Structure 1
Amino acid sequence: MNVIRILKRVTIDVVWMPVALLTLLVPRNRRLWAFGSSSGKKYADHSRMLFEGLHDNRIDADIRVVWSTKSDEIFHELTSRGYPVLKSNTFRGFMTTLRAGVCVYTHYANDHNRIAAFGAYKIQLWHGIPLKRFKAVSGLLEQGRAGRYYRNLHNRMLDLQKIMFPWANPTWDLLVFQSEVDRDRTGMAFDGTYRRGIVAGSVRIENLRKQFASPDCKPDEGDARKILYAPTHRALGRESLFEKVPVPDGNALHASLRRMGATMEVRLHPFQEREPVPEALDCGPVRLVDNGQCDDIYNDLHTFDILITDYSSIFIDVLPLGMPVIFLAPDYLEYSKDDQGFFSDKYSVPGPVATTWEEALYYCNDILIGAHDHWVECRRDAAKFYFDGSDESESAMKRIVDVAKRDLSIS
């Protein structure tokens, strides 16, 4: 966040200060939990999974839930499904959030109306085990004399904002980690901003295991095998992905897939969606899937046979499920130099690395025809590393709910 942006937010917070203070006088219902994600713009991630688990009474029948969104699309979609949903930027949405005893997040304060959520018990689920360092703790903002001056000014203004306007940068009552590695990495970025942190296990993996165990997951004989290509963004979408990872001629790409009896879905990072996509990645056996506001990649991850990615932490999520992973990363040296840096460990790349699409498809073909997969043990070891301390014998969702209920004295 830059200095100008902080000044704009401070101006807004000064205007809202009387309302924010008055919200502390409103009694909250500890059994009413509001869920949000991605600044109110997505119905996805850990929040969605815990929301649906509670709504369907799979975890705790005492809790009443509601989804909070700024999106008309999400509002109408959830209404049609029979889920309780509110528009956070309406009077009714504001008042419902104001009464909620618990607000659940996956990103930042804007997952909910910041003012209405001020006095609520806040659960931060976050949205993944980081593969790269958070920019705030990477040292990237402190390079050079000007960078250090800017960083010091930024931190002083942020500290002042937290004191004067505590609803703007909330203190999390419960920060949930998926594993000990997650505690080390995510906890570093949230240092000083949370009251309690627990290693609860992975809500996402719990959900994915159920999907992979479903009979619907098993393809019918003769069905095409499915490959998912899910790359991350380049410089928050400011740089071209396809200049750095050139796409081959469509005829060659499609012919390779047809020989394998495979189809491919392409899901770009939301930051990268503004870039025009080569025609080869959205025709024939290849389909480009838009990131709709109600679309969550984890809803149908169980339908794929292979994941092709690069520097996205999505590969960590599929490790416990045994899905083969291929890393298509021709710009590795440039990316690692310009970005905030990777956490260094031997499990960062538990799969073959390709520098061209031809190489990536060669590895896919080997896996699909049943050739020896040399990376099985490496993926298992990586899963143990990334999810160390995660107890699979107990539901992660139930553990989170139980801790919050104890903190709130809900019997």
Structure 2
Amino acid sequence: MPSFTFARGNATKLLSSPLYALGRLASVFIRRRDALWVFACGSGLGEGSLALYRMADAADPSLRLVWIARDREELARARALGLTSVLRSSWRGFRMTLRARVIVVTHGLGDVNRFGTHGAFILQLWHGIPLKRIQLDSPVTFGGSGLVSRMLRALYRRNSAAIDLVPAASESSAGRLRTAFGLPADRVVVTGDPRDDAVLGPREAARELLERGVGGLGGDEVILFAPTWRDGEADPVVPTDAEWSSIAEHLEATARVLVLRPHPHSVGDYRPGPAASNRIRMLSATVQNDINPVLPAIDILVTDYSSIAFDFALLGRPIAFLAPDAREYARTRGLYEPYREFSGGSEVESWAELLALLATPASGNKPVALERLAAHAVHLAATHHEYRDGRNTERVYEVLRTRLGGQA
């Protein structure tokens, strides 16, 4: 059974409506503390929220910063890093959220204790440049028509209206985020995405981090396979036994390692891959929840519709697209741009086609196909990233302080 679907998430939101009302009432009597900021990330400890926590901690020692953890494992990890942390579902999690002047999230208000957010300054970092239509723009968010759909749309609009600031990687991304959240232009600011600062980090450190998760790599090239999820549907590209064998042969012949990174909510069994070859490794989200710090260690990315392509494009390295369901996915989920613009028209529909695309010539020279894929990555970076200097977090912090000063 899938761990998350839009239908299940929306049902939880609707059933929680009375608790929103109680939280709103409590906010009338509880004064928010200007020096208290809380941070959380929907995928766990990391991403832009952690980067901004560290930036704020270094810039202003007078601030009281608290990490809101999803579970006890994340709580322990946060405290091991020296962060002050409380459980989201605990009384302290509610109280800290209710008292905080600033709330920083990456997915939604449910990253923190969603019932204590009313009246705070909400900074929505989001979690990547959207290719797939999201939030108010997405045809699958509200599940069709009728009363329930109208109730959900009203709830999403109300929650989105509470957002005070959304950073964007570029003006094209900003336009998507404005319509997705129904926000005026001045609340979505082009600063660069804080989570992308890690992509420009040192390759050696990223390689060490990756090896802690998947084992030694020697001097081999690394291919990262990172597909997106299908809202509860099975991944259409899970290899068959025969395809696993072909993949293993390709990796042996080219001195490469394939790192599998299924989406945390994906449906499909990738375990036969590592069993078939030592050159196939698994890097699950439970081992490394934040993938961006690992990206500098990757030589080739294989994905489909995931925003990881925009992140990885900053490195100017080859990106291959494996998307057998491109037409159907675009029809049902909706995309902000034609898929062939995103993929550069190089997408393939099977593992056999992908392996042929990535094959190294007998001469040992770099394949022309990889040069073409790398050139498209450079194009993606140029069109979707305003900044490539590793200072996105700094810019977001500066805009945040300016906006807070204006509200004083």
TM-score class, shorter: 0.7 to 0.9
Counterpart selection for 2:222 from 208, 216, 226:
226
**Counterpart mapping for 1:74-153 below 5 A:** 74-134=74-134, 136-138=136-138, 147=144, 149-150=145-146
Range 355-364 or range 77-86, more displaced: 355-364
Q: Is the 8 A contact 2:319 2:374 kept in 1?
A: no
Alpha carbons of structure 1 residues 130 and 95: separation in structure 2 relative to 1, 3 Å: same
Q: Distance in 2 between the 1:332 and 1:366 partners?
A: 26
The aligned residue for residue 307 of structure 1 is 301
State, as a whole percentage, how many aligned pairs show the same letter.
24
RMSD of Structure 2 on Structure 1 (CA): 3.6
The aligned residue for residue 49 of structure 2 is 47
TM-score normalized by structure 2? Answer: 0.83
Q: Distance in 1 between the 2:52 and 2:126 partners?
A: 12
Counterpart selection for 2:169 from 168, 172, 178:
178
TM-score normalized by structure 1? Answer: 0.82
Counterpart selection for 1:30 from 25, 28, 34:
34
Shift of 1:68: 0.4
Q: Is the 8 A contact 1:172 1:195 kept in 2?
A: no
Give per-residue Cα distances to partners, 1:187-242, cap 9 Å, x unaligned. 111114897221111212222112348696899996121111111123x1323434
Q: Distance in 2 between the 1:3 and 1:87 partners?
A: 26
Give per-residue Cα distances to partners, 1:51-101, cap 9 Å, x unaligned. 23334x2x5545432210121110112222222211121122222222221
Q: Is the 8 A contact 2:48 2:393 kept in 1?
A: no
1:14 and 2:12 matched: no
Q: Is the 8 A contact 2:6 2:141 kept in 1?
A: no
Q: Is the 8 A contact 2:40 2:68 kept in 1?
A: yes
Q: Distance in 1 between the 2:19 and 2:247 partners?
A: 56
1:203 and 2:201 matched: no
Alpha carbons of structure 1 residues 347 and 51: separation in structure 2 relative to 1, 3 Å: farther
Alpha carbons of structure 1 residues 214 and 94: separation in structure 2 relative to 1, 3 Å: same
Q: Distance in 2 between the 1:345 and 1:332 partners?
A: 7
Q: Supply the AA of the counterpart residue of 2:377.
A: R
How many residues align? The count is 393
Shift of 1:295: 2.1
Q: Distance in 2 between the 1:86 and 1:141 partners?
A: 30
1:253 and 2:255 matched: no
Q: Distance in 2 between the 1:181 and 1:295 partners?
A: 27
The aligned residue for residue 237 of structure 1 is 232
**Counterpart mapping for 1:247-396 below 5 A:** 248-272=242-266, 274-277=267-270, 279-282=272-275, 283-292=277-286, 295-341=289-335, 343-344=337-338, 347-350=341-344, 352-366=346-360, 369-372=365-368, 373-387=371-385, 390-392=386-388, 395-396=391-392
Q: What runs of 5+ residues in structure 1 fail to find an aligned partner?
A: none
Q: Supply the AA of the counterpart residue of 2:123.
A: I
Q: Is the 8 A contact 2:135 2:181 kept in 1?
A: no
The aligned residue for residue 70 of structure 1 is 70
SS in 2 for 1:270: coil
SS in 1 for 2:163: coil
